[in-house]
Amino acid sequence: MFNIEDIRSLIPTIIGDTSFYLESKNNLMDVVNHKSTVGLATDTVSFPTIQKYSSSDVYELDIGTDASVYSDPALSAIDAKITKENVIMAKIPKMTTLTKDDIVETVVNLFVDAELSKVEKDIVEKFSSFTTTIGGAGTIFTPQLIANAKKAIQMKKFGLVGMISENQYYGPKGLFGFTQSDHFEGVLGKEFIMKGFVSNAYNIDWLPSSEISEDIGGLGDAGGAIMTKRAIGLHTKNLADIEMELHAVGRYYIIVCTGRFKTVMVNTNQGIYLLTDVTV
């Protein structure tokens, strides 16, 4: 039987390990424009929005000639204000037979997985807000859809990321499926077979997500996205504010993890909604 001081002594380790794994296991920051206000006295940050630049906005002038015309892009901002708290709790009975190491490992895994899953869910829920949809209900994922997506996305010179459902990634009708066809006997198809994943294909960094629905409208379709990192903004105040209290009536301890963050759609023209069939 643990006393309250035994459990309280574990809190610094739980806080440290949770913070470490939230950082090391978190690849979501590679998908979005992330800003942190940890330690700052504010609940709001602004993400810049800008209209598309193109080659026609660059004027060729003779050397020494003054520019009489110039592009005047609309520069504005989208605010991400944190108004909600994302809370998960772990209950530890006083009469638990778990060791201290077991408690730390279990609680840390629970908090990290849950908080990152919630951030991921909030991100993927923004995908349907993109201006352009590529594919459609019953459409098979093909290289042509990727080509169409690249044409539609603006401000893409600094790279693209693809966040798609697990079957859009691994399934026979997904990225894996068409890399194994007769047209892909080279490096890409072999890499997928040997490693079980491909980090970059078609000059896009890919990330599968278990938070994307694979039965949209009851039709067996999934809605992923291809986008720039500036398309969606993520403001984090603290992903893991951890506290503990004793619940005397229930005879257990409660360890509470609170995540404070906000996702916002910033540039709807810097990504596309990728809707494809994933039925097996």
Average pLDDT over residues 258-269: 96
pLDDT at 160: 93
| C-alpha 26 chain-centroid distance | 9
Q: Is the pLDDT of residue 185 over 70?
A: no
Buried b (16+ CB within 10 A) or exposed e, 173-204: bbbbbbbeeeebeeebbebbeeeeebeebbeb
Name 124's Cβ contacts closer than 8 Å, sequence gap at least 6.
163, 209, 211, 212, 224, 225
Q: 216: which DSSP letter?
A: B
Residue 28 lies in a domain: no
Question: How is 128-147 classified by DSSP, letter by letter?
Answer: GGSSEEEE-TTPPP-HHHHH
Residue 33 lies in a domain: no
Query: For the ranges 56-60, 71-75, 264-268, which has the lowest average pLDDT?
Result: 71-75
Residue 52 lies in a domain: no
Q: Is the pLDDT of residue 78 over 80?
A: yes
Per-chain mean pLDDT for the chain: 88
pLDDT at 75: 79
Residue 145 lies in a domain: yes
pLDDT at 203: 87
Q: Is the pLDDT of residue 54 over 80?
A: no
Q: Is the pLDDT of residue 172 over 80?
A: yes
Residue 178 lies in a domain: yes
Provide the β-strand partners of residue 264: 233
The predicted model scores a pTM of 0.87
Better pLDDT: 268 or 156:
268
pLDDT at 198: 63
Residue 22 lies in a domain: no
Longest dimension (CA), the chain: 83
Domain span at 166: 128-231+269-277
Q: Give 189's pLDDT tier (boundaries 50, 70, 90).
A: low
Q: Give 194's pLDDT tier (boundaries 50, 70, 90).
A: low
Name residue 273's amino acid: Y
Tens digit of each residue's pLDDT (9 = 90 or more) over 138-147: 999 998 999 9
- DSSP H helices in the chain: 4-8, 11-24, 100-124, 143-152, 166-170, 175-179, 187-195
Average pLDDT over residues 76-90: 96
Q: What percent of the chain has pLDDT over 70?
A: 89
Residue 30 lies in a domain: no
- Using alpha carbons only, give the angle 83, 274, 171 rounded to the nearest 5 degrees: 110
pLDDT at 30: 86
Q: Is the pLDDT of residue 74 over 80?
A: no
Q: Are 103 and 10 in contact (CB under 8 A)?
A: yes
pLDDT at 199: 66
Residue 204 lies in a domain: yes
Average pLDDT over residues 47-58: 77
Tens digit of each residue's pLDDT (9 = 90 or more) over 209-250: 999 999 999 999 999 999 999 999 999 999 999 999 888 888
Q: Give the total number of structural domains in the chain.
A: 1
